């Protein structure tokens, strides 16, 4: 485990494991690096994995960025500070939005791009859902946010699995490491963001990875939103891979299958 200090004073916690081409994991809006704790061990035999916490999340410090491009610029600074010239990137959910902005604005740093479970523009239903999470963060704390997001984030059948109760405790612990104000600021950043104009700028080979029961960021959102259905038409040559009986938290629900598809894409 290491710390990197960025030019603006942000301190970034990170960990590097494995050997091979470097793969940067960018986590979702509440988990921190623990978002990938099931996926990373499956990836390290194939690639060098860089897990880190965004500023204000987990073990990292720093004020929330004002917009997605500013946050992507901080990630670009971190990549250089950690000593890498180019990396593969896998961003999930909020992290996928950061990854898209990173690939569009800093293409010199990115080899291949994996974006899982996200929208480039939230529809009204997603905004209402996020609104309940913000109120929970303010009124009840991040453990309540973990419970609410688990209902929306996992396929219904996942909650019947024997490991589900333990996973819920793990999520509550991970979410508790994120300050409510950082989560709320990240959520409000998402709500005012439309990354759709950036899609056509991306030049990196791209894999869109999703779950067929993703209720948070569905393949085809309502008309006010934009998701995989729109991205694939704007990004010729991108690959789309959808896991069956899987929700938004695919790196937790089906880490083995997610790893298999990501490794296959990166190895091409």
Coil/strand/helix, residue 53 = coil
Give residue 28's domain range: 2-266
Question: Rounded to whole angstroms, what are the CA distances from 77 to 55, 155, 193?
Answer: 12, 36, 22
Residue 64 has pLDDT above 80, yes or no: no
**How far from chain centre, in Å, is Cα 118?**
8
High-pLDDT (> 70) share of the chain, %: 100
Residue 56 has pLDDT above 90, yes or no: no
CA distance 10 to 240: 35
Helix boundaries (H) for 110-227: 124-139, 142-153, 164-176, 180-191, 196-199
Taking residues 132-160, what's their average pLDDT? 95
Residue 16: both structure tokens together: 């590097």
CATH of the domain at 176: 3.40.50.1820
What pTM was computed for the model?
Answer: 0.94
How does pLDDT run across 3-51, given as a tens digit for each residue?
999 999 999 999 999 999 999 999 998 888 999 999 999 999 999 999 9
H or E stretch including 74?
helix 68-81
Residue 243 neighbours by CB under 8 Å, 6+ apart: 209, 210, 211, 212, 250, 253, 254, 257, 258, 261
CA distance 16 to 20: 11
- Structural domain count, the chain: 1
Closest C-alpha among 85, 102, 127 to residue 225: 127
pLDDT at 268: 85
How does pLDDT run across 96-145, given as a tens digit for each residue?
999 999 999 999 999 999 999 999 999 999 999 999 999 999 999 999 99
Residue 63 has pLDDT above 90, yes or no: no
């Amino acid at each position: 485990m290491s710390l990197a200090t960025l030019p603006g004073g942000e301190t970034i916690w990170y960990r590097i494991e494995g050997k091979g081409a470097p793969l940067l994991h960018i986590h979702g809006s509440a988990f921190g690096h623990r978002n990938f704790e099931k996926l990373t061990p499956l990836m390290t035999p194939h690639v060098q994995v860089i897990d880190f916490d965004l500023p204000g999340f987990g073990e990292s410090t720093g004020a929330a960025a004002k917009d997605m491009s500013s946050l992507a610029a901080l990630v670009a600074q971190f990549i250089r500070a950690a000593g890498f010239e180019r990396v593969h990137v896998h961003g999930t959910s909020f992290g996928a939005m950061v990854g898209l902005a990173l690939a569009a604005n800093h293409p010199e740093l990115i080899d291949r791009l994996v974006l899982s479970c996200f929208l480039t523009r939230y529809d009204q239903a997603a905004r209402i859902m996020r609104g309940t999470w913000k109120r929970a963060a303010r009124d009840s704390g991040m453990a309540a946010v973990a419970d609410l997001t688990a209902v929306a984030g996992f396929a219904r059948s996942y909650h019947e699995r024997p490991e589900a109760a333990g996973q819920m405790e793990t999520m509550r612990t991970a979410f508790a490491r994120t300050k409510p104000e950082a989560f709320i600021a990240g959520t409000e950043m998402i709500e005012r963001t439309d990354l759709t104009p950036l899609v056509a700028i991306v030049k990196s080979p791209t894999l869109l990875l999703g779950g067929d029961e993703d209720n948070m960021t569905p393949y085809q959102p309502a008309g006010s939103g934009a998701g995989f259905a729109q991205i694939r038409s704007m990004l010729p040559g991108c690959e789309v891979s959808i896991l069956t009986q899987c929700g938004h938290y695919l790196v937790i629900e089906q880490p083995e299958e997610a790893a298999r598809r990501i490794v296959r894409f990166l190895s091409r």
